[in-house]
Amino acid sequence: MVEEYPRNLTELEAKFGTEEACRAYLARLRWPDGFRCPRCGGKRSWPVRAVLLECAGCGCQTSVTAGTIFQDTRTPLPIWFRAMWWVTTQKNGASALGLQRVLGLRKYETAWTMLHKLRRAMVRPGRDLLTGRIEVDESYVGGEEKGLPGRLNLKKALVVVAAQEDGPGIGRIRMRQVIDASAESLMPFLRDSVQPGSVVHTDGWLGYLPVERNGYQHEVTFLKGKKKTPSELMPRVHRVFSLLKRWLLGTHQGAVSQKHLDYYLDEFTFRFNRRRSRSRGKLFFRLAQQAVAIDPVPYDRIVHPTPAKAKPQYVGVT
């Protein structure tokens, strides 16, 4: 499908003011080559009671929002579209409180749940691995942050970051919360994030000992006896950590709990990796596209996320 998106708030409101217009847009994103029955793959359908589509082949009824993050929502789609707009067009995103205010929502929980559902759509399934030269380091996030105002309402959590080198700057990043800095925690992150054959640049920590065995070239900078500080030796990763902490403290006022931290990391990554995108509308398009491509998340799984994500599965060689 051609990349179709509003260029500003006026266009958004003009184009997506009604439920029907939003549904038609989501249908173009979800079925770029026309309707496909989720059960039999049939291509012909007819509308039933405004929002349903009945497959001409097998008779099953579906809707464009069934099986997406919009499934079973009681919030009108034009409100969802505005939420996606605020999340993608504000440089630092939106907090639940900010979103509640700007959308005029009666309940804080509605804004909070919408944001969490949207964060689930910020990670593209099967996204590309980082390639080239990659800095990798881990750091604690939470508690009192030195040099930053305020305090994160979060017990200290260990986060590992991989940052692609782009000359002196930073290319794309990946990050994950890990239970500790052992090889068993760090290597699965590396395998999920970095293309084999890439150069992985770390400090001399033992947890990075098996980097070469996992198919990478390993460049080690030992900190001991060096005059330089870690932030000078791993400047990119430390820049990312500093921006992440500022964002958690600023936009979210430090109100992030450990069990939800992973999803905030996903949002930060989504925004960071697209920070040079000149068109904010394009981010809106990407988010909407991914929102109809992923499975729905029931409310109780958002409030109580499964620990599977926080604790990576230990498979294969470490």
Binding site for Zn ion (CB under 5 A): 37, 39-40, 42, 55, 57-58
Please give the helix or strand (H or E) that residue 139 lies within, else none: strand 133-144
Q: Least CB distance from residue 70 to Zn ion, whole Å?
A: 21
Q: Which of 182, 177, 317, 318 is nearest to 260 (CA)?
A: 177
- 143 forms bridges with which residues in the sheet? 152
The nearer residue to Zn ion, 36 or 309, going by C-beta atoms, is 36
Q: Which of 42, 57, 99 is nearest to 75 (CA)?
A: 99
Integer CA distances (angstroms), 139 to 206, 234, 244, 278, in order: 15, 12, 11, 31
In degrees, rounded to 5, the angle at the alpha carbon of residue 291 between the alpha carbons of residues 290 and 295 is 100
Q: Which residues contact 190 (CB under 8 A, 6 or more apart)?
A: 136, 162, 200, 211, 214, 216
The nearer residue to Zn ion, 55 or 64, going by C-beta atoms, is 55
The nearer residue to Zn ion, 24 or 58, going by C-beta atoms, is 58
* Euclidean distance between CA atoms 201 and 69, whole angstroms: 37
The nearer residue to Zn ion, 31 or 205, going by C-beta atoms, is 31
Q: Least CB distance from residue 290 to Zn ion, whole Å?
A: 25
Q: Least CB distance from residue 60 to Zn ion, whole Å?
A: 5
H-state helical runs in the chain:
9-15, 19-30, 77-89, 96-103, 108-120, 183-193, 230-233, 235-250, 261-273, 280-291, 299-303
At which residue do the structure tokens 């794309």 appear?
172
Residue 215, burial from CB neighbour count under 10 angstroms (0-12, 13-18, 19+): middle
The nearer residue to Zn ion, 33 or 128, going by C-beta atoms, is 33
Q: Least CB distance from residue 251 to Zn ion, whole Å?
A: 44
The nearer residue to Zn ion, 40 or 179, going by C-beta atoms, is 40
Q: Least CB distance from residue 55 to Zn ion, whole Å?
A: 3
The tokens describing 33, both together, are 């080559």
Q: Least CB distance from residue 61 to Zn ion, whole Å?
A: 9
The nearer residue to Zn ion, 17 or 59, going by C-beta atoms, is 59
At which residue do the structure tokens 């184009």 appear?
15
Q: Least CB distance from residue 37 to Zn ion, whole Å?
A: 3
